[in-house]
Chains A and B, each alone.
Chain A
Amino acid sequence: MSDSKNSWPLWEVFIRSKQGLGHKHVGSLHAADAEMAIGNARDVYTRRQEGVSIWVVPAENITASSPENAEALFDPANDKVYRHPTFFVLPDEVNHM
């Protein structure tokens, strides 16, 4: 029983929930082509008005950073606390800046 083996490629689905917001990853699905992927994404991920716009991207075209590199990539920001305004203590007389 292997007719299911000739399977459709995997697509990642991104939905803009309303105008003014960015597209957000919501999940994935299989579809033969982009048009079908949009159709399936509409049926599966927007049945309750969760979206006004859909992106579908073939999963194989996504390059992701690896957890192996997480320290090298993200830790350097750790010791640059001065990037946050709270690092600078204001005189008491100055309430807002």
Chain B
Amino acid sequence: MIRTLEQFDAYVAAEKKIEPKDWMPDGYRKTLIRQISQHAHSEVVGMLPEGNWITRAPSLQRKAILLAKVQDEAGHGLYLYSAAETLGVERADLIDDLLSGKAKYSSIFNYPVLTWADIGAIGWLVDGAAIMNQVPLCRCSYGPYSRSMIRVCKEESFHQRQGYSIMVELMKGNEAQREMAQDALNRWWWPSLMMFGPSDKDSEHSSQNMTWKIKRFTNDELRQRMVDMTVPQAECIGLKMPDKDLKWNEETGHHDFGEINWDEFYNVLAGNGPCNKERLAVRNKAHHDGAWVREAAVAYAKKNQKIRA
């Protein structure tokens, strides 16, 4: 059993899993609580931009598909909150931190969803980037996090495919539909690459998280994979990447790509993206409007208990 930092480090280095009641360093616990709860918040806030399009989906089948996807995201939020709770935090406190703006969630959800093609681009690129980030997390050293990521990853590939298939359909359509798809790619491509976080040279948490096996690959490694994976998918359906510096590099066996606008990244992160305020306001309103339902459920449960007793 683990009693000291040395034992903990050796245990993790040997690819063994840490479970909730095991001894762990404070920093490990804190890092996980921060990361898992931010991840949970992202799943929950991520429902908002897509939820807006459920009633506007172009067919009944697309509506049912989008509804199922958004419902999955709610589930992902719940798996992750549950995993965070095993580390000794209260769900209600985590949610309060989201609602007050104290906690962060993925900046990608602070961009507006302007057309139906955006729903395609989100599934294809945003869920695509999420998968790229999440697959290595299935092997995270913390058991409950790793188990919830396995569930999440099983469900994610449907999300990416339904998004890509929207793009495929639009690209087979008329001029206006193809333009709509291209415009969505133009707006979502760079923010999707920003989802991998700051460049390795500016990333604060990377090396400790690597030794703790919370992180397996650096931000830049994952970003490169995303570019290499996506470029042929875009080409195949006739979409053009909005990056003039993008080109295949024979030597490295990877694509070279342009510089990310880091000012934009830090600006959205600081709360000044196009939709930061709106997303938090909607989330707060939903939470407060639903308060009576939660209270009524508690009152009903108490009443039933009394009758039985």
Which positions in A face B, CB cutoff 8 Å? Answer: 1-8, 10, 27-30, 32-33, 36, 43-45, 47-48, 64, 66-68, 70-71
| Complex: chain B residue closest to A28, CB-CB | B82
**CB <8 Å contact, A7 and B75:** no
Taking each of B22, B288, B294, which has the highest tally of chain A beta carbons within 10 Å of its own beta carbon?
B294
**CB <8 Å contact, A27 and B92:** no
Q: Which of A6, A7, A28, A47 contacts B71 (CB 8 A)?
A: A47
**CB <8 Å contact, B78 and A44:** yes
Given contacts A10-B85, A47-B72, A64-B21, contact A33 B90 (CB under 8 A): no
Q: Which residues of chain B are near A6, meaning CB under 8 Å?
A: 294-295, 298
- Determine chain A's interface SS by DSSP, over half rule: mixed
**CB <8 Å contact, A30 and B2:** no
Bound Cα distance from A30 to B90, whole angstroms: 11
**CB <8 Å contact, A7 and B79:** no
Given contacts A67-B21, A67-B22, A67-B23, contact A7 B90 (CB under 8 A): yes
Q: Which residues of chain A are near B305, meaning CB under 8 Å?
A: 33
Given contacts A29-B82, A47-B72, contact A8 B21 (CB under 8 A): no
Bound Cα distance from A6 to B296, whole angstroms: 11
Interface string of B66-108 (1 = CB under 8 A from A): 0010011011001100100100001110011001100000000
What 6 A-B pairs are tightest by C-beta distance, nearest first?
A32-B297, A33-B301, A32-B301, A4-B92, A3-B291, A7-B92
What's the minimum C-beta distance from B296 to chain A, rounded to whole angstroms?
Answer: 9
What's the minimum C-beta distance from B4 to chain A, rounded to whole angstroms?
Answer: 14
Given contacts A7-B91, A28-B85, A47-B72, contact A36 B297 (CB under 8 A): yes
Given contacts A6-B295, A6-B298, 5 further A-B contacts (CB under 8 A): A2-B96, A3-B291, A27-B79, A32-B300, A47-B68
What's the minimum C-beta distance from A45 to chain B, rounded to whole angstroms?
Answer: 8
> Does B141 lie at the interface of the complex (its beta carbon under 8 Å from any beta carbon of A)?
no
> Does B287 lie at the interface of the complex (its beta carbon under 8 Å from any beta carbon of A)?
yes
Q: Which of B78, B91, B300 contacts A33 (CB 8 A)?
A: B300
Q: Which residues of chain B are near A71, meaning CB under 8 Å?
A: 1
**CB <8 Å contact, A47 and B21:** no
